[in-house]
């Protein structure tokens, strides 16, 4: 979490989190207030995403570079977006296909034969 905080959160910002222990190392440098989450009763959808993120973070090796942390986070965002917006995947694919110029078989053959 440290690289994410360093990159995106000011040390003067007030950060309200749940009581997850993963925030403890950051408390000496950041203004973190921890509150019980009441089992996610408030903001249920947000709690689900946060729990998925925490689970994802636990699977990441603890000492990785900022570059790798960002890649892990990018993958998490991709997966969570895919899981939450399944009904729009087909629609988005069609939109992208219509917005681009068609690629003809002859052009594909030229690229493959190179």
Strands (E), the chain: 14-17, 31-34
How many whole angstroms from its chain centre is CA 87? 20
What does the pLDDT look like over 40-66, one tens digit per residue?
776 677 788 888 888 887 877 777 777
Q: Could you tell me if 30 and 9 are in contact, meaning their C-beta atoms sit under 8 angstroms apart?
A: yes
How many whole angstroms from its chain centre is CA 12? 24
What does the pLDDT look like over 73-104, one tens digit per residue?
888 888 888 887 777 778 888 888 899 888 88
Using CA atoms, how far apart are residues 86 and 84, in angstroms rounded to an integer?
6
């Amino acid at each position: 979490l440290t690289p994410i905080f360093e990159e995106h959160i000011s040390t003067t910002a007030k950060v309200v989190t749940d009581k997850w222990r993963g925030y403890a190392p950051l408390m000496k440098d950041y203004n973190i207030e921890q509150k019980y989450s009441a089992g996610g009763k408030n903001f249920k959808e947000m709690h689900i995403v946060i729990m998925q993120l925490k689970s994802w973070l636990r699977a990441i090796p603890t000492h990785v570079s900022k570059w790798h942390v960002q890649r892990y986070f990018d993958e998490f965002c991709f997966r969570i977006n895919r899981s939450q917006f399944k009904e729009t995947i087909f629609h988005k694919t069609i939109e992208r296909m219509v917005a681009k110029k068609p690629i003809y078989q002859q052009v594909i053959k030229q690229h493959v034969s190179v």
